[in-house]
């Protein structure tokens, strides 16, 4: 029994407490703020407060030409910039009705899948860091740096690539780089095995993640959660299989499906996804190595003169789920409206439903496993 | 007297410059590069700055890694004021230096962190490479080695924040006051 | 698959969002019933709301709902016009739960009010911010924006 501020005696179990987490907190992956209502250590309610990184990207599009907006697109999701670029560019390619050369399709697929791996690697390191394990970060960053070095040689930048252009890609991929990618993908499986040895069966990791943060099938659909978080609760939804874009039709890969979506199975989904992405990289490099003479990478559209008309929706299965870019063009050089549908926005919204009833220390395990990235939430 | 003071300055500056503890203040893209700096390939521990602190009260270097928005600005000031003296600031990335690519057309981005707090080192690029961040930390170290207490005070007094703590901070942080109070 | 839907609700206009999404313009009053029908009817089963898109056409607003059907693997869009002065419509959070934040975002950036919404307040901008920036007639007159200029 305890006295509250009015001097009325209440049972300790009936008293609630509000604590504030963020926006400057190492485990919120950026600038998310959460107001957590607790009863003892049990979470009763979470109220996520977003907008600390709202940069007004949708308004900026209205004062820029389609080409000028292209570099900004990479910043919407800085861990996987290729996906945002692709969503934006595929919408415009639909509007101006172009088809891109087959080699550009292969290179786009290759870069996107490598980007998926690099993003997952960063997630893996940070997630384990959130749970208190320092060393996995150093292991995953070794492989991540290899990918970033390849990207730097290919596009000129480590994170903000600005590599795709309307009707293709900007620069051809060289043979030496392809061999480097091939070597990387051969070694990568070994690295993943190493992570799994370190993490998957670690008893501390299992206690902190197994049966924590269970997301039911119904809630996942209601809250429009996509990506690995959705596939972990045994809903086989992946845009690469459902409505294949680029050359995913020709590739052999499977979509990993879980049974119960708890933190541990969401972790397993991403590990398996990395292996599948590695398969795709292998197939793409094989094709590109055998077609090294093909020099056609671009349909040579002048990006300065694009003045499309109509509405289009560019879609891509990004690292975190379904990413959509809606463009309404009205025949001028500026778009009328651009709207980004980002998967993290909806995952953040569902935190309250997922984490309710669990303990406060579990919150970081749940939040980390959802793979939320703040610029995507706030745009 | 001068000789004694300058000797004390030299010793304390040497100690300070080689143990800069940064705050993990990562708002956006540059935060990832800041992470790479502390990870295996670049290893900032070589220069004594690997101890990333989560609490501003234990840190003496604020690396503003990313865009500062108007919603975030009062919190940046609050964090800066919570840091103990002596404290140093690196504005990492174009956004923190001047607003960067969001300077034209964005309604919610602060055009440079120096509108809010005094900045020692500006590091442009979008985002800077890890080598560049290491270089700017080295530059800050050499600056610290040559400074004296009086010049430092002048530098901080010269800066005027656009943000008035009384009004702006209070409106936005008012919610916080309620949060720390125990509810029924 | 939309035959019954088209006869049941008065379709004002039909367009296509590229590459292949059908967009139906309906009356504002029917929106809640139409969405509930599309979600529950066995011919459509649009179990998922991808996003809500608001647009400012200078004279009026368009509000579009992008729906997604897991069962039939299709998408469609339901839209309606909204008067500029009125800027008030009905919340659909009891049909699709993820509409709560979408509607808050539209309220924040466009100033469109959603009736019956459980928690309608600004989401991305500070609570004390003036104006709705994604409107075409937005003038940056918030105090905070002034210190950017000097």
Following DSSP, what letter does each residue of A114-179 receive, concatenated?
A: HHHHHHHHHHHHHHHHHTT--HHHHHHHHHHHHHHHHHHHHHS-SS----EETTEESSPPPHHHHH
The reply to whether residue A160 touches residue B29, judged by beta carbons under 8 angstroms, is: yes
What per-residue confidence (pLDDT) applies to A7?
Answer: 53
- The Cα A99–Cα A167 span in angstroms is 7
Q: Kindly tell me the burial class for residue B135, based on how many C-beta atoms sit within 10 Å of its own C-beta (0-12, 13-18, 19 or more).
A: middle
Residue A341 is nearest to which of C51, C70, C73, comparing CB atoms?
A: C51
| Residue-range domain boundaries for chain B | 18-180
C148, B115 contact by CB (below 8 A): yes
Q: Which residues of B touch C121 (CB under 8 A)?
A: none
Q: First CA to last CA across chain B, in angstroms?
A: 60
How far, in Å, are B45, C32, C47, C64, C115 from residue C29 at the CA level? 63, 8, 22, 14, 13
Angstroms from A287 CA to nearest CA on chain B: 31
How far apart are the C-alpha atoms of A111 and A31, rounded to whole Å?
A: 28
Give bridge partners of residue C83 from the DSSP assignment: C60
The alpha carbon dihedral of A22, A25, A30, A36 has a sign of negative
- A51 and C124 in contact by Cβ < 8 A? yes
CB contact under 8 A, B184 and A10: yes
The candidate with the shortest Cα–Cα distance to C117, out of C108, C127, C126, C129, is C108
B51, B63, B108, B180: best mutation site toward chain A, by most A Cβ within 10 Å? B108
Does C56 sit within 8 Å of A337, measured CB to CB? yes
pLDDT at B163: 66
User: In A, which residues are within 8 Å of C55 by CB distance?
Assistant: 328, 336-337
User: A309: helix, coil or strand?
Assistant: strand
pLDDT, tens digit, for every residue of B123-176?
A: 888 888 888 988 998 888 888 888 777 777 777 777 776 666 444 444 444 444
Cβ contact, residue pair A374, B28, below 8 Å: yes
At residue A241, what are phi and psi to the nearest 5 degrees? Answer: -100, -40
Instruction: Give all domains of chain A, ordered by start, each with its CATH number.
Output: 57-344 (1.10.645.10)
* β partners of residue C21: C17
Closest residue in A to B172 (Cα) is A52
Q: How far apart are CA A13 and CA B87, in angstroms?
A: 43
B2 Cα to chain A: minimum distance (Å): 42
* B6 and B137 Cβ atoms separated by less than 8 Å: no
SS3 of residue C22 by DSSP: strand
The topology (CATH level 3) of B18-180 is: Rossmann fold (3.40.50)
Taking the CB of residue A279, how many other CB atoms lie within 10 A of it?
16
Residues of B in contact with A2 (CB under 8 A): none
ipTM of the complex: 0.90
**pLDDT for position A1:** 46
Q: How far apart are CA C102 and CA C60, in angstroms?
A: 19
Q: b/e string for A242-256 if b means 16 or more Cβ within 10 A? A: eeebbbbeebebebb
Predicted local distance difference test score (pLDDT) of residue B1: 65
Distance from C-alpha of B17 to C-alpha of B112, rounded to nearest angstrom: 25
Instruction: Give the residue from B41, B55, B95, B110 with the most A CB atoms within 10 Å of its CB, the best one to mutate.
Output: B41
Strands C60-69 and C48-56, by their bridges, are antiparallel
Average pLDDT by consecutive 10-residue portion of chain A (379 residues)? 52 70 74 84 87 87 87 88 91 88 90 92 89 86 90 88 88 89 90 88 88 87 88 87 87 88 88 90 90 83 84 90 90 88 90 88 87 87
> C57 CB contacts (<8 Å, ≥6 apart)?
none
Interface probe with C: pick from A218, A326, A328, A372, most Cβ of C within 10 Å: A326
Strands A33-39 and A17-21: antiparallel
Contacts of B among chains (3+ CB pairs under 8 A): A, C
Q: What's the predicted TM-score (pTM) here?
A: 0.89
For chain A, what is the mean pLDDT?
86
Domain boundaries C3-143, corresponding CATH code: 3.30.460.80
CB nearest A310 (choices: C18, C68, C98): C18
Residue to test with chain C: of B67, B70, B169, most C Cβ within 10 A: B70
Q: Looking at chain C, which residue has its C-alpha nearest residue A220?
A: C48
Our CA-based measurement puts residue C42 at a distance from the nearest CA of chain B, in whole angstroms, of: 44
């Amino acid at each position: 029994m305890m006295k509250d501020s009015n001097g009325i005696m209440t049972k300790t179990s009936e008293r609630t407490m509000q604590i504030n987490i963020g926006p400057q907190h190492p485990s919120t992956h950026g600038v998310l703020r959460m107001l957590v209502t607790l009863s003892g250590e049990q979470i009763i309610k979470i109220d996520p407060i977003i907008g600390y990184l709202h940069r007004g990207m949708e308004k900026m599009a209205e004062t820029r030409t389609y080409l000028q907006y292209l570099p900004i697109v990479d910043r919407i999701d800085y861990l996987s910039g290729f996906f945002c670029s692709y969503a934006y560019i595929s919408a415009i390619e639909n509007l101006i009705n172009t088809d891109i050369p087959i080699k550009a399709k292969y290179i786009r697929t290759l870069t996107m899948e490598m980007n998926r791996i690099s993003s997952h690697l960063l997630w893996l390191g940070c997630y384990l860091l959130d749970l208190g394990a320092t060393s996995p970060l150093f292991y995953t960053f070794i492989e991540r740096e290899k990918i970033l070095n390849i990207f730097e040689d290919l596009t000129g930048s480590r994170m903000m690539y600005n590599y795709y252009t309307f009707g293709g890609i900007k620069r051809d991929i060289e043979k030496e780089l392809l061999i480097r990618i091939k070597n990387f993908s051969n070694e990568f499986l070994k690295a993943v095995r190493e992570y799994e040895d370190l993490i998957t069966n670690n008893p501390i990791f299992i206690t902190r993640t197994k049966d924590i943060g269970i997301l039911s099938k119904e809630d996942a659909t209601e809250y429009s959660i996509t990506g690995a978080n959705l596939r972990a609760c045994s809903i086989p939804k992946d845009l690469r299989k459902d409505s294949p874009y680029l050359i995913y039709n020709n590739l052999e890969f499977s979509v990993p499906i879980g049974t119960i979506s708890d933190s541990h199975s969401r972790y397993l989904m991403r590990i398996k996804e990395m292996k599948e992405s590695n398969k795709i990289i292998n197939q793409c490099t094989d094709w590109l190595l055998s077609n090294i003479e093909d020099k056609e990478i671009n349909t040579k559209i002048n990006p300065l003169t694009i003045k499309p008309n109509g509405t289009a929706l560019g879609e891509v299965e990004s690292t975190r789920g379904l990413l959509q870019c809606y463009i309404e063009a009205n025949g001028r050089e500026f778009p009328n409206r651009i709207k980004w549908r980002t998967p993290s926005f909806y995952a953040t919204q569902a935190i309250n439903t997922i984490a309710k009833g669990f303990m406060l220390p579990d919150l970081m395990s749940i939040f980390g496993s959802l793979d939320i990235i703040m610029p995507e939430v706030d745009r | 007297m001068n000789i004694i003071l300058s000797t004390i300055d030299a010793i304390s500056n040497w100690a300070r410059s080689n143990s800069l503890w940064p705050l993990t203040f990562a708002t956006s893209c540059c935060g990832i590069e800041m992470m790479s700096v502390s990870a295996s390939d670049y290893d900032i521990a070589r220069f004594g700055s690997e101890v990333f602190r989560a609490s501003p009260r234990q840190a003496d270097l604020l690396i503003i890694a990313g865009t500062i928005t108007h919603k975030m600005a009062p919190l940046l000031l609050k964090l800066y004021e919570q840091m103990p003296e002596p404290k140093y600031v690196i504005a990492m990335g174009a956004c923190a230096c001047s607003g960067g690519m969001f300077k034209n057309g964005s309604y919610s981005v602060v055009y440079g962190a120096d509108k809010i707090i005094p900045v020692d080192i500006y590091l442009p690029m979008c985002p800077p490479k890890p080598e560049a961040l290491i270089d700017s930390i080295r530059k800050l170290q050499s600056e610290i080695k040559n400074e004296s207490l009086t010049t430092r005070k002048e530098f901080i007094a010269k800066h005027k924040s656009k943000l008035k703590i009384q009004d702006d901070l209070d409106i936005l942080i008012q919610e916080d006051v309620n949060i720390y109070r125990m509810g029924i | 698959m939309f035959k019954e839907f088209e006869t049941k609700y008065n379709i004002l206009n039909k367009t296509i969002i590229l590459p292949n999404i059908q967009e139906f313009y309906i009356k504002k009053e029917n929106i809640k019933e139409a969405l509930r029908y599309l979600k529950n009817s066995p011919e459509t089963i649009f179990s998922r709301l991808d996003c809500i898109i608001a647009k400012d056409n200078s004279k009026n607003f368009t509000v579009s709902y992008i729906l997604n059907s897991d069962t039939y693997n299709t998408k469609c869009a339901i839209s309606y016009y909204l008067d500029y002065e009125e800027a008030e419509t009905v919340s659909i959070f009891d049909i699709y739960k993820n509409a709560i934040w979408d509607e808050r975002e539209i309220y924040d950036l466009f100033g469109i009010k959603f009736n019956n919404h459980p928690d309608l307040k600004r989401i991305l901008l500070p609570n004390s911010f003036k104006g709705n920036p994604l409107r075409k007639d937005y003038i940056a007159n918030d105090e905070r924006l002034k210190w950017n200029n000097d």
